[in-house]
Structure 1
Amino acid sequence: MATKSNRGPGAAAENRAALVAAARDVFAEQGVDGPISAVARRAGVGQASLYRHFPSREDLAFAVFEENLVAVESLAADPGTTLRDLTDLITFQIEGSAAVISYFAREDDPLVRGLEGRIAAALAPKVDAAHEAGTLAGTTTVADVLLAVGMLAALVARVPADQRHARVEEAWALLMRGLGPAPAAAAR
């Protein structure tokens, strides 16, 4: 009978990364209430290791959300990216992490509000640039874009994984009618 070898403290960072990746997959497939044991199994670590890194389900879900946010902030820091680039990344993340996003949407937690602030800060310069380029309606604010993202997350959380991308694209097309540039006739 083969047993797992204890890779020791040197594997802590690798184990943590594997747990976050596994949680992203399990939560996408089964929701945030999916079995924690499935996360540990998929990551190839024992449950004790999982609980050393993430004492609660909320801590694990937060790690997935935090990883998504770091990716958004990194992309936003690139001066060559646009608001559309950011919304595409956020959309991709929503499709894979809808359960995590909806989990935090139900919490009125200052930590969650801080994450929203970080997203808003990442979006703000791109919203300003889109206004200057004329690709976003002049009255559209960062709060409007965040509202659209929240609406998409709520929509996607109720759609089977294999249908999420199509639904998100339909929703963005509808939302962009309101967020996009004013039609030429209305500009007169």
Structure 2
Amino acid sequence: MSTKRNRGPGAAAENREALLAAAREAFSEHGAGVPLSTIARNAGVGQAVLYRHFPTREMLAHAVFDQNMARIEALAATPDADIREVADLITHQIEGMAAVISLFAADEDSPHQRELVTRMRTALDPVLARAREAGQVRTDATIDELLTAIGMVAALVMRSPAAHRHDRAEQAWRLIASGLGPR
């Protein structure tokens, strides 16, 4: 006898959010290959509900990425957000999603990758401009340099054991700051 109760179509948005939260946690803890049944169970829904929202693992991972990107965009749009705050949020998300990032990194020319880079560029451009004005980075620092730095941190974090990801990311940002910092 099942203990799950069908909450009906009115619970669709709530189920989707529960699935995204469970996926974010499961990907972080177990990697991109975590069984989808684990994600559904942790979200408190059946696998049919998971597949109704996300027919493939990639669609689920893309949705988690999109939600993460929306958080970056929201912080970056805050007029008083500085470059370090935004970099910290990006780093935190990279640390948690390293296995999933590697899933997508193999296809740099995918439409989703291009969209992600465009969204990141759009979100970070005003943050970088504020950092230049505040003297936090070189006046000639470019958005391409910042995106390259983020890519370097992501590559390093993806290859690090989970227990060392944060320390490695911090070390990398210190080195990068010496190159982007004011001269």
Q: Which amino acid aligns with 1:51?
A: Y
After superposing on structure 2, the runs of 4+ consecutive aligned residues of structure 1 that deviate more than 6 Å are none
1:7 is matched with 7
CA distance in 2, matches of 1:127, 1:5: 49
CA distance in 2, matches of 1:59, 1:149: 23
Is 1:143–2:149 an aligned residue pair? no
> How is 1:1-150 mapped onto 2 (pairs within 5 angstroms)?
1-107=1-107, 108-150=109-151
Offset, 1:154: 1.3
CA distance in 1, matches of 2:84, 2:178: 14
Worse-matched range after superposition: 157-166 or 119-128: 157-166
Contact 1:102 1:153 in 2 (8 A): no
Q: Give identity over the alignment, percent.
A: 57
Offset, 1:29: 1.6
- For structure 2, the 5+ residue unaligned runs are none
1:153 is matched with 154
Q: Which amino acid aligns with 2:146?
A: V
> How is 1:157-168 mapped onto 2 (pairs within 5 angstroms)?
157-168=158-169
CA distance in 2, matches of 1:9, 1:137: 53
Q: State the superposition RMSD in angstroms.
A: 1.2
Length-normalised TM-score, structure 1? 0.92
User: Number of paired residues?
Assistant: 182
CA distance in 2, matches of 1:160, 1:45: 31
Contact 1:91 1:168 in 2 (8 A): yes
Worse-matched range after superposition: 25-34 or 43-52: 25-34
Length-normalised TM-score, structure 2? 0.94
For residues 34-67 of structure 1, the C-alpha deviation after alignment (integer angstroms, 9 at most, x for no partner) is 2111111111111100000001111000011001
CA distance in 2, matches of 1:153, 1:135: 22
CA distance in 2, matches of 1:153, 1:59: 21
1:171 is matched with 172
Q: Which amino acid aligns with 2:97?
A: S
Offset, 1:106: 1.7
